[in-house]
A and B are shown apart, each in its own frame.
Chain A
């Protein structure tokens, strides 16, 4: 089982709709969770991070965390063509003193005008 799993997509969403991206992780002790956006040929850029169960909202983005289910998601409201990118879920390794982030393989999102 991969440590961090994402559906590779592609996920196609009409412009203006809600895009829902999902991620599961295997290490129950993981403490912090991140969503990165990566445009083709570019490096990943941080969108959001979440540490506590529940929802965290930032503009059109909402991160949701359920530690019991080992599940984290990202919702993008009012999707725009500029949101078309690969979205990477990353999880903090639980080992004390190890600050490594483990990434999923990413979900490719396409917003259809």
Chain B
């Protein structure tokens, strides 16, 4: 597609439920990133994919968080047993090869509210 596409754009869920957030990167981009941004805060790195593998998943806050990427394209971020502190906007981004100097482009985000 023309840009990074994320779904759902908004999600309200009850505490304890699982949620899945989807990201469809820019066509041809091999690198895919998940960031989290809480209200009024900066971007917190979660995980990075190069192709289908995740060289850096150091930012995942707990074992309730997991992510996968299949076919070198779409990625899913799953949050199990959601907690109120998980409320944030989850931003996906993609970039082409390393030679592109890490110019990454963001989707519009998935706004998650845990009640």
Contacts and interface: CB of A to CB of B under 8 A. Distances in A.
B55 interface: yes
A37 B49 CA distance: 24
B1 interface: no
Given A32-B101, A103-B43, A42 B31 contact: no
A70 interface: no
A43 B45 contact: no
Given A42-B108, A43-B109, A104 B103 contact: no
Interface in B43-77: 43, 45, 48, 50, 55-56
Q: What is the interface residue range for chain A against chain B?
A: 20 to 34
Contacts of B50: 97, 99
A43 B103 contact: no
**From B41, B101, B103, residue with most partner A Cβ within 10 Å:** B101
Interface in B24-52: 31, 33, 35, 41-43, 45, 48, 50
Interface string B97-115: 0100111111111000000
Given A43-B91, A49-B101, A51-B101, A100 B106 contact: no
**From B43, B48, B95, residue with most partner A Cβ within 10 Å:** B43
Contacts of B33: 100-101
A100 B95 contact: no
B106 A44 contact: yes
B80 to A, nearest CB: 24
Interface of B: 31, 33, 35, 41-43, 45, 48, 50, 55-56, 91, 95, 98, 101-109
Interface of A: 32, 34, 42-46, 49, 51, 88, 92, 97-106
